[in-house]
Structure 1
């Protein structure tokens, strides 16, 4: 089932093939140095939007553990001559609902020397890991390493960046991560209904099954279109709205794809032996880390003065000005 992809001449297929090969060889513990070696940062300088999308979608499809958010932030920090000390690895943290607490994904076997986070007021700060005490967070996905850290509002040093710089990249990166996961999960469903026969024909020949998978395909493709728009918008007030729209669309795609693929898989989808639960667990953790909803999108749109928010595809929202 063909989903939305950038134009062939944009180089997406070549970058994605490189990323897929890397994750196939080493699905855990990919760090910034590994991405340097495959030339991802050079590609980001040439075609940043394509490089980011290919990296995160490939990670989602492979269920890989890698420092992708860290690399995304680092690439844009380098473009502004604000990168941390050369060779110093760092991890990106997201704010939580608890004041002074932040959470972030850390690639397996990697030890960040610093953490970058954005305060509720919009200031981006970097603080040495030596000054912090990360606490592991138990999740339903044993393949992810999530940490929770208490950080004072004045900790570390402030980076001269636009308000929302880090939050926007976290939302876009995790959105592509979820969409890559959903696209692969949809392939799992399509493969199953093609191979599984009932009443003398593939179950994919039945209209009800086709409708379920079509709903999932529309949700994923809608999310991809909105994700492209969010990356193209850049930083600023409208960038906040479009990144929120991308996150909401990716969250909806996960819900729709998970529900539809579980339905067409039937009983086998409930077993430990089938891979469905691995995608569902990963998606649940990423979706919770995104922590967005349509009310947040509506509020951001009103602050930005966007006159209307219209629905695209399977209910995914995007500001009308960004179409």
Structure 2
């Protein structure tokens, strides 16, 4: 699958994944297929309409037509399979705004949040890899950039955030677990975008470097099915109403 995602994206990747058995994997082993495929999408920077597949499968919706997906700020978008660039911050994604949408079943929302969490985790790790490679190669004042404590602290904080998000996703059972997993992954990816941009400096803003693609991808993915800020607020309201915080993982 990594080879397919490195060689294709959009509708071409949709066809390649279908040939590799993605629909069958999603139907029979979603707990294996979703983390594998979505994390690879993040790591390679490719995109496909697999989020729509996950929502349809979890909701039990038949038919090939796209499902309106909730976006931050009470907006709705559709992931078009024709591959035409949309108007989102990430211009590569074929997202199209629609006026309204239908509230999705809770199990479909939870499944989509888990999938997006793995996608965010993958793109966060790629940003960290790009930044790490840069500081190992470049020098400043006669010293490798990787030797500066401030640089090392930023990269270490990014790694800790990503590892924590991965642990949350591994334990993202149920609706509340999926909410926390997506929030943790979104926060980790945003942390990676901020710190890695600082470490890379001016080159990270250029079109020639890959970082900007992952930063824009993070901003869009974070907004789908609730932004990190919205989900944290929702989690707080849930805990206040329940009067206690549920144990997500048995440590």
TM-score bracket, normalised by the shorter chain, equals: 0.7 to 0.9
User: Does structure 1 residue 95 correspond to structure 2 residue 70?
Assistant: yes
Counterpart of 1:251?
186
User: Does structure 1 residue 142 correspond to structure 2 residue 69?
Assistant: no
> Which one has a larger percent strand, Structure 1 or Structure 2?
1
CA displacement, residues 92-116 of structure 1 (integer Å, 9 cap, x when unaligned): 32235787x6323224438xxxxxx
User: Does structure 1 residue 320 correspond to structure 2 residue 247?
Assistant: yes
User: Does structure 1 residue 180 correspond to structure 2 residue 155?
Assistant: no
* Aligned counterparts, 1:158-177, within 5 A: 163-177=105-119
Deviation (angstroms), 1:189: 0.5
CA displacement, residues 103-141 of structure 1 (integer Å, 9 cap, x when unaligned): 23224438xxxxxxxxxxxxxxxxxxxxxxxxx962222
Counterpart of 1:281?
216
Q: 1:193 to 1:171 in 2, by over 3 A?
A: same
Deviation (angstroms), 1:179: 1.1
SS of 1:34's equivalent in the other structure is helix
> Which one has a larger percent helix, Structure 1 or Structure 2?
2
* Aligned counterparts, 1:198-277, within 5 A: 198-230=140-172, 233=173, 239-277=174-212
User: Does structure 1 residue 27 correspond to structure 2 residue 2?
Assistant: no
TM-score, normalised to structure 1, is: 0.68
Q: Which of 231, 244, 249 is 1:307 aligned to?
A: 244
Deviation (angstroms), 1:274: 1.8
Q: In 2, distance between residues paired with 1:186 and 1:33?
A: 30
Q: Which of 37, 54, 57 is 1:72 aligned to?
A: 54
* Aligned counterparts, 1:40-51, within 5 A: 40-44=22-26, 47-51=29-33
Q: Contact conserved, 1:28 with 1:66, CA < 8 A, in 2?
A: yes
Deviation (angstroms), 1:216: 0.4
Q: In 2, distance between residues paired with 1:218 and 1:46?
A: 33
Q: Which runs of 5+ in 1 are unaligned?
A: 1-17, 111-135, 155-160, 234-238, 309-318
User: Does structure 1 residue 296 correspond to structure 2 residue 229?
Assistant: no
Deviation (angstroms), 1:53: 0.7
Q: 1:90 to 1:210 in 2, by over 3 A?
A: same
Aligned residues: 247
Bigger mean CA offset, 138-147 vs 212-221: 138-147
SS of 2:125's equivalent in the other structure is helix
Larger Rg computed on CA atoms: 1
Q: Contact conserved, 2:45 with 2:214, CA < 8 A, in 1?
A: yes
Q: Contact conserved, 1:306 with 1:321, CA < 8 A, in 2?
A: no
Deviation (angstroms), 1:280: 1.0
Q: In 2, distance between residues paired with 1:257 and 1:264?
A: 10
Q: Which of 7, 17, 41 is 1:59 aligned to?
A: 41
- Give the alignment's Cα RMSD to 1 decimal: 2.8
Counterpart of 1:105?
79
